[in-house]
Structure 1
């Protein structure tokens, strides 16, 4: 679990006070990995930079990749004589996952793809702090950093992955475009559906999942003030991330990983594209999802898989079926009797 968290409008202003006692020396910088949405907005002037601290603006247009992590690690090691004091991730799930992965790889040998899996990290990460600027992914609280590798999309799942400190400032989410707000929020909603209906469910994950679901329904189906909505969705993301940390996600995420690996579809919209067709498995959740789309005037793109070759489908199916824990959580230990490669391809063909 994340040991320290600060929540509240304007809490970003406390960042300097938080970092000062963590700084190792004037020669050990803090590296800020920031969504390039903020690059031309004078944002760097608001950061508590000292000595040789560095701000690296990174596009979140594509999913984070193992090669991208390796390149950032190599750049930092080449530029500085000693390891940084810490890594600060500011952005959505892409930037938060990149910051977690970079902090791990700066203190572990090899390359990022070697650590895709469960509990493969052997040495603690550098100090890392996360500041989400959009709500829904749960990346700020989870023990995984999901990366596209050369042959799979899979997280670095370890006890060293979780952030040392998180700042939850709802003011950051004021500028999020509506469709992105919806798709990322649906990531949280789908987390809840898959966790609460899964075979891995336990009292711990259920307590967080139920609260996250309650908040999602308030935000997306209720009529609450905008400021309250921002705060509640930020907390829904936190609780949803905690829920899946102690259980697992399911079919929508497994299939979304396949879409992302082959086509580069962003995670939030990928979940939505899949989830709309999963009424057989999540009837109540899909019904609520359809209500939410109607209420907010969201129309999903069609024909995403219309022109794919058989080789394309084989890749997506293999990537998705490789996430066995997700399928077992959704359908139980005999899930392979229900989901064959042929059936999964037919499900992709609907998208």
Structure 2
């Protein structure tokens, strides 16, 4: 679990006070990984207090994070500073938060980040790392994984050393998120809840968090109760609770197949989840029905036909990625999932997308 968290409008202003006791020495910098959408945005960047050798690195979130990108960032940081950093601070959406977690791990562990794609492969604790989400829904601020596309697979670094040491939840930072991005990322949270609550890994912890997040998603995307600020607060809380729910259980079929889309086509995670979930009535009938209602209410167009021109070899690549996520399928179907989740079934589903 994340050991420390603050929540509230304006809480981002506490960042320097939170970090200052964690500085190792004047030569050990804090490295800020910031979504480049904020480049030149003084409203946010002016509140980042730099001292000594501290560094801000602006990063594009246009593409899903890659293991090669993690390795390049680690090399850049090592070559730019003589001392190991005092900490890594990620400020942005799921892409930036996942990069921050992965970089913090790879600054203390040997080899390449692709070597740690999987479950519990990290042996050495990461350096101090802080997450500041600027969009709500991914749950990256609380999860024990990263979502990384590697040379052979799309799979996170899942470990007890992955979660942030500190998270700052300031709903005010989400005020300028475009509508489509707000919806797709919010649906990532909603799908987390459905997959957790309908999964075989369900337990009292995951259920309590999942039910709260699910109810908040209905309030936000169906009822629309509250002011814009209140809805921002609710979605940030839904994201946190949805992330906690899957931290104690697992995601399911939508995420497994979405990873295939992301690996082959570079489809953004939130959009990919929506593309897949739209066709999963067989697995989550009530959840998909409510999703379609949300989609219609907010006039959201889901991309269609993205797999229409793919070759058999390309379908095989996506299927291999999806089938490699065994814990997700076990949560979705049960221990005997391989009897029903065949290559032919997955190809037929992908052909609908």
Residues 251-290 of structure 1 deviation map (CA, whole Å, 9 limit, x = unaligned): 0000000000000000000000000000111000001001
- Structure 1 residue aligned with 2:348, among 337, 346, 349? 346
Q: Secondary structure in 2 aligned to 1:154?
A: coil
- Structure 2 residue aligned with 1:207: 208
CA RMSD across the alignment: 0.6
- Structure 1 residue aligned with 2:24: 24
Structure 2 residue runs of 5 or longer lacking an equivalent are none
1:231 matched to 2:225: no
Q: Secondary structure in 1 aligned to 2:56?
A: strand
Residues 177-227 of structure 1 deviation map (CA, whole Å, 9 limit, x = unaligned): 000000000000000000000001011110100001010110100122111
Size of the aligned set, in residue pairs, is 351
Structure 1 residue runs of 5 or longer lacking an equivalent are none
Hey, what's the Cα distance between the residues in 2 that align with 1:243 and 1:300?
26
8 Å CA contact 1:44–1:55 kept in 2: the answer is no
Q: Secondary structure in 1 aligned to 2:147?
A: strand
C-alpha displacement of 1:45: 2.3
- Structure 2 residue aligned with 1:9: 9
TM-score, length of structure 1 as denominator length: 0.99
Q: Secondary structure in 2 aligned to 1:34?
A: strand
Hey, what's the Cα distance between the residues in 2 that align with 1:322 and 1:124?
26
Hey, what's the Cα distance between the residues in 1 that align with 2:19 and 2:234?
27
- Structure 2 residue aligned with 1:165: 166
- Structure 2 residue aligned with 1:268: 270
TM-score, length of structure 2 as denominator length: 0.99
Hey, what's the Cα distance between the residues in 2 that align with 1:45 and 1:135?
22
C-alpha displacement of 1:34: 0.3
Hey, what's the Cα distance between the residues in 1 that align with 2:74 and 2:334?
39
Hey, what's the Cα distance between the residues in 2 that align with 1:301 and 1:12?
35
Runs of 4+ residues over 4 Å off in structure 1: none
- Structure 1 residue aligned with 2:295: 293
Residues 112-155 of structure 1 deviation map (CA, whole Å, 9 limit, x = unaligned): 00111111111110000000000000000001111101000111
Residues 47-87 of structure 1 deviation map (CA, whole Å, 9 limit, x = unaligned): 01111100000000001000000000011111111100000
Within a 5 Å distance, the mapping from 1:144-159 to structure 2 comes to 144-159=145-160
- Structure 1 residue aligned with 2:334, among 317, 332, 335? 332
Hey, what's the Cα distance between the residues in 2 that align with 1:145 and 1:280?
28
C-alpha displacement of 1:44: 2.8
8 Å CA contact 1:135–1:234 kept in 2: the answer is yes
C-alpha displacement of 1:8: 0.3
C-alpha displacement of 1:46: 1.9
1:217 matched to 2:238: no
Hey, what's the Cα distance between the residues in 1 that align with 2:303 and 2:104?
36
- Structure 2 residue aligned with 1:120: 121
Q: Secondary structure in 1 aligned to 2:88?
A: strand
